[in-house]
Structure 1
Amino acid sequence: MVSILKKRKFFLIFYIYGLISFKAGAQNTDYAKKVNTLIGTEAGGNTYPGATYPFGMVQFTRPYFSTLQGFGINQLSGAGCDHMGNFPVLPLNGRLNVSPDDIVHLRTTISKESGTAGYYKATVNDNILAELTVTKRTGMAKFSYPANSENGTVIIGGGVASTPTTASAVVITSPHSCEGYSYGGSFCGISTPYKVYFAAEFDADAINFGTWKDKKITDSASFVEGAHSGLYFVFNLNKTHVIKYKIGVSYVSVSNAKENLRKENAGWNFESVKNNAQSEWNKYLSEIEVKDKDSIHVQQFYTHLYHALIHPNICNDVNGEYMGADDKIHTTVPAHSQYTSFSNWDTYRTQIQLLSMLEPDIASDVVSSLKDFAEQSGGGFPRWVLANVETGIMQGDPTSVLVANAYAFGARNYDTKSLLNIMRHGAEDSTAHSQKELTRPGLKQYLEKGFYNASIQLEYNSADFAVSRFASDACDDPYVSAWYESRAQGWKHLYNPERKWLQSRNADGSWKRYDEDWREATYKNYFWMVPFNLKALIDTIGGQKVAEQRLDELFTRLDANYGQDWFAAGNEPDFQIPWIYNWAGAPYKTQQVVNRIIKEEYFDKPDGLPGNDDLGTMGAFYVFSCLGIYPEIPGVGGFSINSPFFSSAVIHLKSGDVKITGGNEDKPFIRKMKIDGKEYNSTWLPLNLIKNGCDINFELGGKPDKAWGTSVPPPSFN
């Protein structure tokens, strides 16, 4: 007996030591340096290479769309149109002899770029090293001039941004400081008149300063306003060739920008600020650990995870104040943050689910922020928010889906009843709006006739289904849930039995042309946008074999543009389609296609994304795809299965670790799957089964097992 007890004691000590060592290993790994911020910065990825903080207010970077305009302080990662880029700063050799005008006309070169999470460096004009880092609400730069330079100039644009600004005013307050404000410009042709303030400082006094406006330089002037204007500071480099600069921003006031700077970065220790930013990134990036023989794939994974954790970003200052959707100053609830940058038509598909799993408190604050925005802006949910402006970009009612997804995947700290009321208001009142934008354009016809323009209606059907799940799961309201689940089946009114495709109708019920009303895709892509009732969709066209053949034709190519009848790996309406083989009785083809997408459409280069990252949407798609789980059904906490890409992955959820082993990029086909040692033969994995932690083991092969996963059908809701 003594011997047995000793063995048990030894085993317990060994187990605890192993657990501590495992977690210590995760904490000691420098995940921030596994990120390559240049991935996605070319060829339509639209990501930026500069420094940012997890969900931080500032993005200190050269913009994607205006690479000659210096280093701005705000930018969205992977957005589809130029925007923001306020208060660009740029170091120059010597004194300023020519007006910067819009800065682009200086033809400055930015080269030798490199970036990791929280840190960026580049060479300006071949001989000035620019290094950037950040805190939550401030940016910091270190400019290292050549040893033979006697003077160095730093310019700061006031009325210069990535899009034309309507108004700005900046002032030099001392030989080493300045402040001011600027209004926003536009986004995808939509006016975005937010107002952003800044306060900036240098670590040395300038020997000369002044302003510029258009083509004119005014030496020793301290104030300038309007478009194509800014400030400059000239420094003597005889004693030091390194000039440091820091900037705080606020969307409320200059005084708040100063307070943000004072509270978050009072000193001049660039390395300390950089290390803190990287440490914060390590905290978040370590929430998923992957191991693989291929370090390039690991780098890609952490870069995409990084992209998925940039937005939404906080918009409240250190004192809690933020500018609301009603253009009034509000204050956050203590211990909570206010968020903005909502690309909800994109992020409802992948990013919010990932965020809700990893950081439910942050995701809950995101949902509360959307509730606040709706209440401040007219009562309806917005679709696409930049700063405190609802742009109305894209279509559908994506915020209802996003909120339902957040709840389904574990983010639940908010007032669910109020949110359900907002959802219902947007879905039942055709006048519901957020600022100047209707929540559901075309709702009147949809309610009266049961149909509307096809791609918009399909988005509304998904939103209705999401409202149904939220009413049931979050608010215990079975009557509202049943009514919305029934209404979600309105996609059936779009089915043309003669063509056997979904199709738009005219107001009188007659069919439009088959190729009308498809947003950023074709009828062959949008046909599959019934993720909550795929069985009925498949049965409608003749069953699984017909659906499988139709999918095979779609996946002939993976790189279609908006107008081509193949799969578009770079566009959101297609994201869920690879997993539909799991409903069509051919799970092995899901496994094969997802493996192809990862290998053929994603690379470790600046042009390594198949399309816009869209504020982390594509990043989260890549993360889920590599893990072998995908959040297919709106408002339902669960995953459609594919084969994992990495030999080992650990997802650190708040209530337990999910360990996934057995992945292999060269063997995409599932032969066996076990959860905690028990065989699992379904392509649907409920979140409840894994949320408290489990071990998932895959046995993969190079040849398909056509029977695996076919005995238990995945869920559909009819």
Structure 2
Amino acid sequence: MRYLLRNTLVFVSCMSAVLWAQKASEIDPMLGADRGGNVFVGPTLPFGMAKPGPDYGTNQGNAGWAATGNLNGFSQLHVSGTGGGPKYGNISVQPMLGKADPAHSSVPRKDEHAEVGYYAVGLGDTGIRAEITTARRTPVYRFTYPDGQQRTLLVDVGHLLMKLHDSPHRYDEGQIVSSTQVQVLSPTEIAGEQDSVIGWNIQTTPMRVYFYLVTDTPAVTSGTWEDGKAPQDGAKTASYKMPFTMQTLPKPPAPIVSTGAYLTFAPGAKPVMVKVGVSFVSIEQAKKNATTEVAGFDFESTRKAVVAAWDKELSTTKVEGGTADERQQFATGLYHSMLMPVDRTGENPLWKSTLPYYDDFYCIWDTFRSSTPLLTLIAPKRVTGILQSLLEIQDHDGFFVDGRSGNFAGRTQGGSDAEMMFTDAYLKHVPGLDWERVYKAMRHDADVESTDPIRFGRGDMDEWKKLGYLSIEHSDPAGGPDRPGSRSMEYAANDYAVALMAKGLHHDADAKLFAERSSNWKKLWYPEAVDHTEGGDIKGFIWMKHADGSWEELFNPRLVGTWYKDNFYEASTWTYSLYVPQDVRELIKTIGGDAAFKKRLDLFFSEAGEHRFRYRYDVGNEPGFLTPYLYNWIGEQSSTAKTIHSVLDASYHSGKAGLPGNDDSGAMGSFYVFNRMGYFPVAAQDVYLIGSPSFPRSTITLGNGKQFSVVAENLSARNIYIASATWNGKPYQRSWFTHEQLVAGGELKLVMTDKPTHWDTGEAPPSMSDK
């Protein structure tokens, strides 16, 4: 009933709808903050470095925010939508009343509010109101204290987001402060630095963050405190150095360090304005950021500049109709897609370069499937910069990264998925890259054993080239890299990406070699494996082998890998047995033909969203993103339409619990955006698959200035199926189209109906084994 009512409202609202661009005012930064969505709720610019926001509870929230617990302060750097252990939460500022008392500065939140470019919250019953906006590298705070009270500002240089416990399936991921230095420069200035190690990507080289804080109100008293000691009025410096080495780090929980400085102001009603310049290069650069990025302490102009920047980014995408909730979810999905990676151009402490520098790839395994293809359409120049940065990082690290944060590589979740990003960009003619240079790096990545495969590149390459799979022996926690089932499947997809670029650049021998290797998935197809389902026996699955070629005993179709040290990563064999994007036609043949394939897909999506079947389809993890569209290969596009609507309606909502899992740097948001527009990319290919739009019209303004629209005529609550299609006014029978078609501009018009049809009588989407 809820589905019918909501979609009836969509239909009614569309009757008088107009086409408008998405705007910052439609975004809810809190959407997806809770229930594992882990999105960042504070203000930030598109791909902005500074992400100032609140840290709540036990300081274990990946993006700082937590649904329960006291406010511990506002730190300057965060990630968005990530899983695993936290990263950042560096340099906390916290207002309080009375004398400086860091040990008792946490307070309940009151009247929390977030919108694009702005976050505000009351500090319990203190009467203090904190407001935040930001420039690119300079957060700006407005602290309003109750009149007549002594006003204090704490600056905790030891503050980090923590991880207080670990499960057996995770590496130790708690961030640890290795050293701090802080200095009170004047009654209005504090500066310092913090070094930290470990965190999500197991950082062993300290990440150094510098800051320069300045206020518009001179302090009447200032001082510092060191870890475990009381604040000292008049002290000008404080420092900390961890009492152990990287080899003698304590097991979790990591030690909590508090060391910092404070300013105490005379009573007054006028707000205290604070700027915090942040840098990865030096205190001098942090000061330059603070003085050049924000004129004086102009809070409102800074806030308006953030909104204007987001309005500009969002203006490329327009939708017609839909409910307020759907438009909000759509705009917020776009917003989440542009929070990471982070543009740190000018803030690279490792090497000098004239090229763009990006960090916080967290992870490419999540984002190559939909986030990057979305940016390729709406922000191709941004994608050029991101790829230039990845290529330069490869020059210095020796291999492509899958994850990177804090200027440090790690971790690799599956294959070497930067290869997917580069091939996707190559096939879509993203400008500004030397493709021969790119190919040389890709071939090296696809053929040479990584010196540290948990951080970059591929591992177990001798086995991959000799056996055609990664053996179960490497799933032993005491041995080398693990995840043999999922990594084997992803290596095969990666190899096809390398083959496509090799073919385009006329490296014919390489193209043949890597195309052959991309068929290695068949070596892990276990034809006798059976799952006894409620719909009958399903036979044939991807499974693990030993190095001698024998199958791993005790086939378990319901085993869902969580993290590392599992046979599959964040999915089961059900999901990975359907992950052959390079050759869906051969997969269909292997499974037993169109009818058997449809039966398997129908069971895979049965009771979508119910916990008892999460070992099948789980939209909350990315390996299954493409799977709803596999029906298109067997002339059953109507089943794709039905599945997409079912998945989105069951899994995406407005509000703090609105996402089905970790947003993963915009992966969940971009999945929503594409699907609501009615099509989805096949990553590392030049193909888009037609689904079922949720808006009567969506229009993208492309990088070349042309526009591409999808029009859904007769769209309503029941009319989710396609009766017929035209492309620029001409009949169209294919359930897919190419990037070349899309960027030429024009209109895909879909006439919707309430019953499944077989309108898709044209050729099936391409596969590697097509003749």
Q: Same fold (TM over 0.5)?
A: yes
Partner of 2:354: 332
Pick aligned residue for 2:498 from 464, 467, 480: 467
Deviations 1:605-663 (A, max 9, x none): 1011000011111111111111111112x321220110111122110102201122227
Q: Within 1, Cα distance between the matches of 2:711 and 2:280? A: 46
SS across alignment from 1:211: strand
Partner of 2:546: 506
Is the contact between residue 305 and residue 619 of structure 1 (CA under 8 Å) also seen in structure 2? yes
Is the contact between residue 357 and residue 409 of structure 1 (CA under 8 Å) also seen in structure 2? no
Partner of 1:350: 370
Partner of 2:235: 221
SS across alignment from 1:421: helix
Is the contact between residue 522 and residue 563 of structure 1 (CA under 8 Å) also seen in structure 2? no
1:665 deviates by 6.1
The answer as to 2:424 corresponding to 1:405 is yes
Is the contact between residue 735 and residue 762 of structure 2 (CA under 8 Å) also seen in structure 1? no
Partner of 1:82: 86
Pick aligned residue for 1:49 from 41, 46, 51: 41
Partner of 1:532: 582
1:577 deviates by 0.8
Is the contact between residue 158 and residue 225 of structure 1 (CA under 8 Å) also seen in structure 2? no
Is the contact between residue 370 and residue 381 of structure 1 (CA under 8 Å) also seen in structure 2? yes
Q: Within 2, Cα distance between the matches of 1:641 and 1:426? A: 33
Partner of 1:554: 604
Partner of 2:691: 642
Q: Are residues 353 and 30 of structure 1, via their aligned partners in 2, closer, same or farther at CA, if it must alter by over 3 Å?
A: closer
Q: Which amino acid aligns with 2:47?
A: F
Matching of residues 118-267 of structure 1 within 5 Å: 118-126=117-125, 127-146=127-146, 148-163=147-162, 164-188=176-200, 190-191=202-203, 193-215=206-228, 216-226=230-240, 227-238=257-268, 240-267=269-296
Deviations 1:96-123 (A, max 9, x none): 2x333xxxx6432233222222222222
Is the contact between residue 201 and residue 411 of structure 2 (CA under 8 Å) also seen in structure 1? no
Partner of 1:567: 617
The answer as to 2:644 corresponding to 1:594 is yes
Is the contact between residue 609 and residue 650 of structure 2 (CA under 8 Å) also seen in structure 1? no
Q: Which amino acid aligns with 1:39?
A: L
- Stretches of 4+ aligned residues off by more than 6 angstroms: 560-563
Question: Which deviates the most, 547-556 or 479-488?
Answer: 479-488
Is the contact between residue 176 and residue 204 of structure 1 (CA under 8 Å) also seen in structure 2? yes
Q: Within 2, Cα distance between the matches of 1:403 and 1:69? A: 41
Question: Which deviates the most, 57-66 or 574-583?
Answer: 57-66
The answer as to 2:464 corresponding to 1:442 is no
1:485 deviates by 1.5
Q: Which amino acid aligns with 1:485?
A: A
SS across alignment from 2:528: coil
Q: Which amino acid aligns with 1:209?
A: S
The answer as to 2:109 corresponding to 1:91 is no
SS across alignment from 2:54: coil
SS across alignment from 2:352: strand
Question: Pairwise CA RMSD of aligned residues?
Answer: 2.1
Deviations 1:331-364 (A, max 9, x none): 324xxx2111111111111111111111111101
Q: Are residues 447 and 295 of structure 1, via their aligned partners in 2, closer, same or farther at CA, if it must alter by over 3 Å?
A: same
1:393 deviates by 3.9
Q: Within 1, Cα distance between the matches of 2:644 and 2:451? A: 39
Q: Are residues 235 and 291 of structure 1, via their aligned partners in 2, closer, same or farther at CA, if it must alter by over 3 Å?
A: farther
1:560 deviates by 6.2
Pick aligned residue for 2:745 from 689, 693, 698: 693
Q: Are residues 363 and 189 of structure 1, via their aligned partners in 2, closer, same or farther at CA, if it must alter by over 3 Å?
A: closer
Q: Within 2, Cα distance between the matches of 1:526 and 1:111? A: 45
Q: Within 1, Cα distance between the matches of 2:440 and 2:116? A: 39
* Number of positions where the alignment pairs a residue of Structure 1 with one of Structure 2: 672
Q: Which amino acid aligns with 1:498?
A: E
Question: Which deviates the most, 442-451 or 303-312?
Answer: 442-451
SS across alignment from 2:348: strand
1:314 deviates by 1.1
Matching of residues 312-323 of structure 1 within 5 Å: 312-317=341-346, 322-323=348-349
1:675 deviates by 1.5
1:478 deviates by 3.2
Q: Which amino acid aligns with 2:466?
A: E
1:184 deviates by 3.0
Is the contact between residue 219 and residue 265 of structure 2 (CA under 8 Å) also seen in structure 1? yes
1:274 deviates by 0.5
SS across alignment from 1:662: strand
Partner of 1:3: none
| Unpaired stretches in structure 2, ≥5 consecutive residues | 1-16, 56-60, 66-70, 163-175, 241-256, 471-483, 530-539, 557-565
Question: Which deviates the most, 445-454 or 464-473?
Answer: 464-473
Q: Within 2, Cα distance between the matches of 1:559 and 1:374? A: 39
Q: Within 2, Cα distance between the matches of 1:433 and 1:315? A: 25
SS across alignment from 1:483: helix
The answer as to 2:660 corresponding to 1:610 is yes
SS across alignment from 2:110: strand
Q: Are residues 177 and 560 of structure 1, via their aligned partners in 2, closer, same or farther at CA, if it must alter by over 3 Å?
A: farther
Question: Which deviates the most, 512-521 or 646-655?
Answer: 512-521
Q: Which amino acid aligns with 2:48?
A: G
Is the contact between residue 560 and residue 569 of structure 1 (CA under 8 Å) also seen in structure 2? no
Q: Which amino acid aligns with 1:466?
A: A
1:438 deviates by 5.0
Is the contact between residue 560 and residue 568 of structure 1 (CA under 8 Å) also seen in structure 2? no
Is the contact between residue 348 and residue 402 of structure 1 (CA under 8 Å) also seen in structure 2? yes
Partner of 2:317: 288
Q: Within 1, Cα distance between the matches of 2:111 and 2:653? A: 20
SS across alignment from 2:231: strand
1:149 deviates by 4.2
1:57 deviates by 1.1
Q: Within 1, Cα distance between the matches of 2:333 and 2:148? A: 40
Pick aligned residue for 1:366 from 364, 386, 402: 386
Pick aligned residue for 2:519 from 489, 495, 502: 489
SS across alignment from 2:75: coil
1:556 deviates by 1.6
Is the contact between residue 171 and residue 179 of structure 1 (CA under 8 Å) also seen in structure 2? yes
1:432 deviates by 5.1
Q: Normalising by the residue count of structure 1, what TM-score does the alignment of the two structures yield?
A: 0.90
Q: Are residues 629 and 495 of structure 1, via their aligned partners in 2, closer, same or farther at CA, if it must alter by over 3 Å?
A: same
Q: Within 2, Cα distance between the matches of 1:665 and 1:75? A: 41
Q: Within 1, Cα distance between the matches of 2:238 and 2:745? A: 59
Partner of 2:720: 668
Q: Within 1, Cα distance between the matches of 2:710 and 2:736? A: 16
Deviations 1:546-602 (A, max 9, x none): 111111111123336799422101001111111111123321111111111221101
| Unpaired stretches in structure 1, ≥5 consecutive residues | 1-21
Q: Which amino acid aligns with 1:165?
A: V
SS across alignment from 1:90: strand
Partner of 1:380: 399
Q: Which amino acid aligns with 2:73?
A: G
Partner of 1:4: none
Q: Which amino acid aligns with 2:136?
A: K
Q: Are residues 560 and 223 of structure 1, via their aligned partners in 2, closer, same or farther at CA, if it must alter by over 3 Å?
A: farther
Deviations 1:452-498 (A, max 9, x none): 1221011111111111122233x343332232122111101111122
